[in-house]
A and B are shown apart, each in its own frame.
Chain A
Amino acid sequence: MGCGSVLELTQPDLCVIRLCARPAAIGQLGRSEKSGRIAPDELLLLAPSREAERVLAELSAELERLDPTGIVLDHSDAFVLTTFSDQAREALARLTPIPIPADGFVQGPVAGVPCKVFATPDQLLLLAPSTYAHHVRERILTACADLDVRERVVSDTTSLAQATTA
């Protein structure tokens, strides 16, 4: 975490798992990972990268039981993940018209690109399409030039409350 007057951007070491199944099946998943419901039949889960295989295997097993027609896969390559700390909400307000909740998940355009946002009171995690990684970064740096942006890559942290729900 920074010192309060800067915008700190980090790339957390998290994997993104995408799961599609019948809504009822998704409702019965008893997972502790931080997740966002993209659609009634679609769920996005975050997990530490090192646990990706385990989580995938567990979810596959659960799907086999709940909805064998469902899909679950590691979809990390679809996104570039950026955690905003300190002046996170000020920064994101410059990039998106969507209201960011105090704690929760939203999706909508950020820097003109369809994105997803996981929010906690302290941090925001932005998931932007990886093909737009360069564009989104440029927009962040331009729109937030006065916020003293500091970037770093985090190799061994999951952040965002360990990517698990309390």
Chain B
Amino acid sequence: MRNRLTNLATAGSAPGELDSASGTGCVSFERRLVPFAKGDTVATALFRAGVRVVSRSFKYHRPRGLYCLTGDCPNCLVTVDGEPGVRSCVTTAVDGQRIARGRGWPSTDRDIFSVLWRFRRLLPVGFYYKSLGRPAWLWPRVEPLIRALTGLGPVETGLDSEEREVIHLHPDLLVIGGGVAGLSAASTASSRGQSVLLVEEGRIADKIASADARAAARRLHAELLEHSDVTVVEDAAAIGVYDGPQVPVDARDRLHIVWPRRIIVATGAVERHPVFPNNDLPGIWLSRGAARLAVVHGLKCGERAVVAGDAGDTEELIQALANVGVDVVALVTRSAGVRDTAAQAVVEGRIARAVGGKRLRAVIVAVSGGALRRIRCDALVLAEGLEPRDSLLRQVDTDDVTGAGDVVAPGCSVQEAIESGRRAATGEAQLKAQSKGSNDAVENGFVCLCEDVAARDLVDAWDEGFNSTELLKRYTTACMGPCRGALCHAHLRAFVVGRAPGQASLAAATTARPPARPIRLEDAAAGTRYTLEQRTALHDRHVALGATMERIGAWVRPESYGDLENEYAAVRERVSVMDVGTLGKFLLAGPDVVEFLELLYPCRVRDLEAGRIRYALLLNEAGHVTDDGMICALGDGRYYLTFTSGGAEEAEVWIRYWIDKLGLEVYVINETSSRGAINLAGPRARDVLARLGTIGVDPESFPYMRVREIVVAEVPCIAVRLGFVGELSFELHHPSSRSAELWDALLAAGAADDIAPHGLEALRLLRLEKGHIIIGQDTDFDSGPRNLGLDFAVKLDKPTFVGKNGVLRNLQTPLRQRLALIRFDGAAPPEGSALSHNELPVGHLTSARTSPVLGYGVGLGWLRAADGLFPGVVRCSDGEVGHVVTEAFYDPDGLRLRA
């Protein structure tokens, strides 16, 4: 197995420089300024400044130093500009950045909580489930302490949140990873005429240490850019693979949401993380990290280094270390008979343990034959092979997603990577290499650096019965930290194989889950931080009149125009207009329209003559009221339906659902946007229409509960005579492009009658005086027609309608609660007030206002029956006494609205 470290010493960039180099400057690090060199990441800047303990471990607060330098381990996580959990080894240093280490008290360097390691026997996996559950008061007291001691550092609050946008992309192929295999796959697919998007979390070829591989990548990249319909996005990390497939990619400028037909994952390999006691000490490096530090940044990983690995794979590594002045005192290898090496000595054996406190002081080597040999050193560089970086690949199991290169064949050669990419692009079978994690360590070496899970913890968990990779993962939380199993997943599988040989299903790869790379919550929410806003065509008119606008769902509507009394009085005494363009409005026709409406509504429709309208409830299958509105028979088999402003969208879904379900030929046109509606209401409404030259609105030709097509101020209208506010009213439904024209004409014509528009607040009072309900405010999810006193709108002698069975079922049970009209002796209590009778709670108030014209409070409220009887008198929580009445408070005979 090769580590791709060939020709490291001549790998292109001069020390301290990168192709994608940043400038120089200083970062602010824990109250001091730290200068950085061109090309430095935050991690290398700190290392250059002598910082060796970069973080403290999650559970035991053990000191941790730089380890992989490829973004795969948790050791370098720091807080950057208030953002915790930033992978500093892949974060470019920028002048002025504020860097802080997350954990440790009084400091990360000197953390007294590192004493926890001494008590590790008392703190096995799951110790708090076992020891802190009882007594019950214990856990709530201990939990804050545990939370304070763990985590990735404090979250800085009060930071400005950045509003990010998204872009949706639909390539034929998404290639994740801009290494040799990924570029080869992209190039192959593109040359076959496919549109290709390639995303690379760094810069193309930037992280490739091998000169051969880097040259191949650059050549393939240049070739790729000559193809058409290819997009390459750098500094873009794929977060996860979701159903679709859909892949969110966190790029610099915006979140890319990619909807590809196929995905090729070419995320390469991560170096194997050997497990032995003290394998987490600062000073222990994975070979790519040490090599990158030397070759790219010109830094020494230590003064005296021991290199562990196969002689052939480490030759260039040792040379690279030597080039920056590292004294490589020994090569520890399992191979026998190695002579030709640049290291000062060759030791046949394996690393048995590391020695040190806050940093490495020596390694103990188990030499062939069983003896132990101590070698003094301050750096241990591990080159023990590769494991696939496959967390994205493990998130899904479909043919749409395949791997290429190291991720399926770790350690493949450049030519093999090119071939692998080509095969992935053409859909040919891949060569697969099985990962081989070490399972020979069962001591306290750390398997999972993120969660501080040691090999001993796996043994304990296994002995407790967690006998598969999935169970071990869940119980120990190995693979669930920031590195998403990059370092420990292979160990977990190898451990299970060692414990249960021959039972492959127990050692199956665990399912990985997003995010594969850390993502800020505000980035995950990119493109969603807006609120839908729906306006009628008269919005600007309302604003110009000084209206206070209110959001009702997505609609923005006038609450009041500033003089509520006058708005109310205009309706009751003179004439007023209200913008009711928010109502749901639908035109229905088609061969089966009558049959459909008979099935949809609980009222009769077939007998509704042209020019007539009918109040109708919309019921769900349970017989509960979901909306209400009007059915207007326009003639010629056409029906104009209205619904409440908030219920229109759901009503359309409901209508179309039933048309489809019943297989009927019914045509539906949603006219909510295309038609505005203005309710002209008040005793002088007819006079206003007359002034505008409208004919056919006299009581005989256009009586109450009728619909007519009339022309008002040259605007064609479907006019509906209703009485929601309890006065003579003409609801004028018209083309919305002419709303302003009609509104202006009505106001001008009504000026002689001192017309004034009214808003929602006046409407709430006006309708309450008439006892009309508002669906959603006065109703609940299980309100039936009987509870609401709307039995008249349900014709049970109809053969069937949606909700009929529910209504019949409800009739079998006694009426336990109902909505009642309540007249108060004094002013209306607050809405929502509790209602009681004989000191016992009996319900609550859903609507209440004090009526100016009646001089007392009026309300609607839910009442519960006691012993089969509903109370006639109730007391409100504020002491106000209310009387249950049975007819409308205002104009109970409806004489005014029928005028």
Question: Which of B165, B537, B672, B674 has the most chain A CB atoms closer than 10 A to its own CB?
Answer: B674
Does residue B167 face the partner (Cβ distance < 8 Å to A)? yes
* Besides the known contacts A20-B667, A41-B665, A71-B669, 6 further A-B residue pairs in the complex with CB atoms under 8 A apart: A70-B590, A77-B737, A94-B166, A97-B168, A129-B672, A129-B673
Does residue B736 face the partner (Cβ distance < 8 Å to A)? yes
For B706-748 the 0/1 string (1 means CB < 8 A from A) is 0000000000000000000000000000011100000000000
Contact of A113 among B168, B532, B589 (CB under 8 A): B532
Does residue A142 face the partner (Cβ distance < 8 Å to B)? yes
Known: A41-B665, A99-B170. A135 touches B674 (CB 8 A): no
Known: A21-B667, A78-B673. A69 touches B167 (CB 8 A): no
Query: A42: which B residues are within 8 A, CB to CB?
Result: 667
Q: Are B736 and A135 in contact (CB under 8 A)?
A: no
Identify the 5 closest CB pairs spanning chains A and B, nearest first.
A20-B667, A78-B674, A77-B674, A99-B170, A78-B673
Known: A41-B665, A73-B669. A131 touches B534 (CB 8 A): yes
**In whole Å, how far is A155's beta carbon from the nearest beta carbon of chain B?**
15
Q: Are A130 and B530 in contact (CB under 8 A)?
A: no
The closest CB in chain B to the CB of A22 belongs to B665
Does residue B826 face the partner (Cβ distance < 8 Å to A)? no
Q: Are A135 and B532 in contact (CB under 8 A)?
A: yes
The closest CB in chain A to the CB of B667 belongs to A20
Q: Are B736 and A77 in contact (CB under 8 A)?
A: yes
Known: A77-B736, A79-B673. A96 touches B667 (CB 8 A): no
Q: Are A71 and B638 in contact (CB under 8 A)?
A: yes
C-alpha gap A132/B257 in the complex (Å): 24
Contact of A93 among B168, B637, B670 (CB under 8 A): B168
**In whole Å, how far is B571's beta carbon from the nearest beta carbon of chain A?**
25
For A139-159 the 0/1 string (1 means CB < 8 A from B) is 100110000000000000000
The closest CB in chain A to the CB of B536 belongs to A131
The closest CB in chain B to the CB of A94 belongs to B167
The closest CB in chain A to the CB of B168 belongs to A97
For A71-101 the 0/1 string (1 means CB < 8 A from B) is 1010111110000000000100110111100
The closest CB in chain A to the CB of B582 belongs to A131
C-alpha gap A107/B167 in the complex (Å): 18
Does residue B252 face the partner (Cβ distance < 8 Å to A)? no
Does residue A112 face the partner (Cβ distance < 8 Å to B)? yes
**In whole Å, how far is A128's beta carbon from the nearest beta carbon of chain B?**
9
Q: Are B532 and A130 in contact (CB under 8 A)?
A: no
C-alpha gap A78/B675 in the complex (Å): 7
**In whole Å, how far is B362's beta carbon from the nearest beta carbon of chain A?**
56
Query: B537: which A residues are within 8 A, CB to CB?
Result: 130
Q: Are A130 and B669 in contact (CB under 8 A)?
A: no
The closest CB in chain A to the CB of B590 belongs to A69
**In whole Å, how far is A29's beta carbon from the nearest beta carbon of chain B?**
15
Question: Which of B536, B587, B665, B667 has the most chain A CB atoms closer than 10 A to its own CB?
Answer: B667
C-alpha gap A103/B229 in the complex (Å): 17
Interface residues in A115-131 by Cβ distance below 8 A to B read 129-131
B contacts, CB < 8 Å to A: 165-170, 254, 257, 259, 527, 530, 532-537, 539, 587, 589-591, 637-638, 665, 667-675, 735-737
Q: Are A18 and B669 in contact (CB under 8 A)?
A: yes
**In whole Å, how far is A156's beta carbon from the nearest beta carbon of chain B?**
18
**In whole Å, how far is A144's beta carbon from the nearest beta carbon of chain B?**
9
Query: B667: which A residues are within 8 A, CB to CB?
Result: 20-21, 41-42, 69-71
C-alpha gap A94/B169 in the complex (Å): 9
The closest CB in chain A to the CB of B591 belongs to A69
C-alpha gap A15/B631 in the complex (Å): 29
**In whole Å, how far is A85's beta carbon from the nearest beta carbon of chain B?**
19
Q: Are B168 and A143 in contact (CB under 8 A)?
A: no
Q: Are B534 and A77 in contact (CB under 8 A)?
A: no
Does residue A65 face the partner (Cβ distance < 8 Å to B)? no
Q: Can you list 8 residue pairs at the A/B interface with Cβ under 8 Å?
A: A41-B665, A71-B587, A79-B673, A94-B254, A113-B532, A135-B534, A139-B530, A143-B165
**In whole Å, how far is B502's beta carbon from the nearest beta carbon of chain A?**
47
Query: A18: which B residues are within 8 A, CB to CB?
Result: 669
**In whole Å, how far is B787's beta carbon from the nearest beta carbon of chain A?**
33
Query: B637: which A residues are within 8 A, CB to CB?
Result: 69
C-alpha gap A70/B593 in the complex (Å): 11
Q: Are B671 and A78 in contact (CB under 8 A)?
A: yes
Q: Are B589 and A77 in contact (CB under 8 A)?
A: no
Q: Are B674 and A75 in contact (CB under 8 A)?
A: yes
C-alpha gap A79/B735 in the complex (Å): 12
Q: Are A97 and B257 in contact (CB under 8 A)?
A: yes
C-alpha gap A90/B166 in the complex (Å): 11
Contact of B673 among A93, A96, A131 (CB under 8 A): A131
Q: Are A94 and B591 in contact (CB under 8 A)?
A: no
Query: A138: which B residues are within 8 A, CB to CB?
Result: 530
Query: A94: which B residues are within 8 A, CB to CB?
Result: 165-168, 254, 527
Query: B673: which A residues are within 8 A, CB to CB?
Result: 77-79, 129-132
**In whole Å, how far is B211's beta carbon from the nearest beta carbon of chain A?**
37
C-alpha gap A98/B674 in the complex (Å): 25
The closest CB in chain A to the CB of B539 belongs to A134
**In whole Å, how far is A23's beta carbon from the nearest beta carbon of chain B?**
10
Query: B165: which A residues are within 8 A, CB to CB?
Result: 94, 142-143
Q: Are B735 and A77 in contact (CB under 8 A)?
A: yes
The closest CB in chain A to the CB of B738 belongs to A77
Question: Which of A22, A96, A131 has the most chain B CB atoms closer than 10 A to its own CB?
Answer: A131
C-alpha gap A77/B736 in the complex (Å): 6
Known: A70-B667, A77-B674, A130-B736. A135 touches B533 (CB 8 A): yes
Q: Are B589 and A69 in contact (CB under 8 A)?
A: yes
The closest CB in chain A to the CB of B581 belongs to A131
Q: Are A76 and B533 in contact (CB under 8 A)?
A: no
**In whole Å, how far is A75's beta carbon from the nearest beta carbon of chain B?**
6
C-alpha gap A95/B537 in the complex (Å): 24
Query: A79: which B residues are within 8 A, CB to CB?
Result: 673
Query: B590: which A residues are within 8 A, CB to CB?
Result: 20, 69-70
Query: B668: which A residues are within 8 A, CB to CB?
Result: 20
Known: A71-B589, A77-B735. A93 touches B167 (CB 8 A): yes
C-alpha gap A69/B591 in the complex (Å): 6
Query: B257: which A residues are within 8 A, CB to CB?
Result: 97
Query: B534: which A residues are within 8 A, CB to CB?
Result: 129, 131-132, 135
**In whole Å, how far is A133's beta carbon from the nearest beta carbon of chain B?**
8
Contact of B259 among A22, A99, A111, A133 (CB under 8 A): A99
C-alpha gap A142/B533 in the complex (Å): 15
Contact of B672 among A97, A99, A131, A142 (CB under 8 A): A131
**In whole Å, how far is B522's beta carbon from the nearest beta carbon of chain A?**
16
C-alpha gap A55/B166 in the complex (Å): 40
C-alpha gap A96/B167 in the complex (Å): 8
Contact of B530 among A22, A41, A112 (CB under 8 A): A112
C-alpha gap A20/B592 in the complex (Å): 13
**In whole Å, how far is B169's beta carbon from the nearest beta carbon of chain A?**
6
